[in-house]
Structure 1
Amino acid sequence: MQDNICVVTGAARGLGRAISETLARAGATRVYACDINMAPAKDWIDNYDNITAVTLDVCDPAGLSTLSGRIMAEHGRVDVLVNNAGITRDALLDKMTESDWDMVLDVNLKGVFMMTQAMLPLMKLQAKGSIVSISSVVGTDGNIGQSNYAASKGGIISMTKGWAREFVHGGAQIRANCIAPGFINTEMTQAVPEKVLAKMCARIPLGALGEPQDIAEGVLFLASDRARYITGQVLKIDGGLVL
């Protein structure tokens, strides 16, 4: 990541924190760590001179324009964009409200669209860059009670495949890939009852939940020039959960 300018959404905690810290430790010149609520980052973000905290709603055009202008003024480009921001509002289909549907699709899918649209011009300036979007195995294989989440994460995959073709016009080297995590040890899974968690782990061939760092390492690879010949792909990091 040496000399790279990176942007990470949903960065205050969980996967986003691990991704931001990993990119920073790998030598990124600057990591813009973005979240609608950056308060959870106060315990760790000051440990890094090369991470800048940005309070940002990925669905807010004015906020995206402000961030784009700031990065342009400070660095003149973006090398890496990691679309990680996402939410869940789970319910069986006959119980899911229109509000639950709209909120998840807005943040998880529209937010990825809007964030990428805002950062793409800063990649086009150098005709090079890497976009890594966090999908889910739910987006590839579905799950009970997650119609909205599955639709949003599946949509990310479809957009990414289209972008992999679109963003190379004129000889540009702007790559777009996805990571599809399985069950990862985050605040969300830590709130699951122990018996349920044990059943979840029993379904995983490697026998345990993944850690946020497992996802961060995948992001680091896809974001770097080590993956220069990889685009339009979905990397499952799930311990073998979906084979």
Structure 2
Amino acid sequence: MTNERLRDALLRNGLDLDQVAKVTTVDPKTVERWITKGRLPYPRHRRAIAVMVRESENYLWPDAIAPERKAEIAESEVVKVYPHRHSVPADLWERLLDGAMEHIEMLNYSGMFLTDNPTLIKKLRAKAEQGVKVRILTGDPASRAVARRSDEEGIGKGTLAAKVRNGLAFFKPLDGVPNVTIRSHGTTLYNSIYRYDDDMLVNTHVYGFMAAHAPLLHLRRLAGGDLFETYSESFDAVWNAAKPPKW
């Protein structure tokens, strides 16, 4: 079976068979078989390729790592668990944002706590100008999911929708900025996700609690890990179903 993930990753990074062969010290025909026939490279070769294309081994070769080994790596991907989002140090958000060089991704409904940072829009614009791909997913204020979540938090069905509109207004200055894309979604928000390259903050959601009072996981991507990749794929699934916001 063709390994389309590997093929796509090489194309996105402008890599050909000879370049991969040189780094992995194998024949180009071997690299071709890894792609066209789905042959599994040795672990050292998988690690080298994963570094080259900036993807996890688990993403490129989902069946290559034994389940028990994936579980061990997943534990190492957890940098810290915070009991509440509001207990995350402010300087951590700043440090991760400032250090991002390739990807900044945000998935939430309103993200109103982000508006507490008066320099956020300016920083996101500057990052985009440096070539960082910024993807922002906010809730659709007219969606049933937003109304349901608002009711579940005990703040009334229309309250969260108003917050979402305020959040959209906050991010509006970034609309049309190269490398910045903003979409709205009406999916159930199981987790809010904030990705900065290989670091990710996952704000879990708990029935009956506002997001600020729910736990947050700080994850760091590892080559053979599964945990970071799970949330990353979830982000992409929501992104693909989302639409441009109605400003």
Whether the TM-score (by the shorter chain) exceeds 0.5 is: no
Tell which has more relative contact order, 1 or 2 (C-alpha 8 A, sep 6+): 2
Query: TM-score w.r.t. structure 2 length?
Result: 0.29
Larger Rg over CA atoms = 2
Query: TM-score w.r.t. structure 1 length?
Result: 0.30
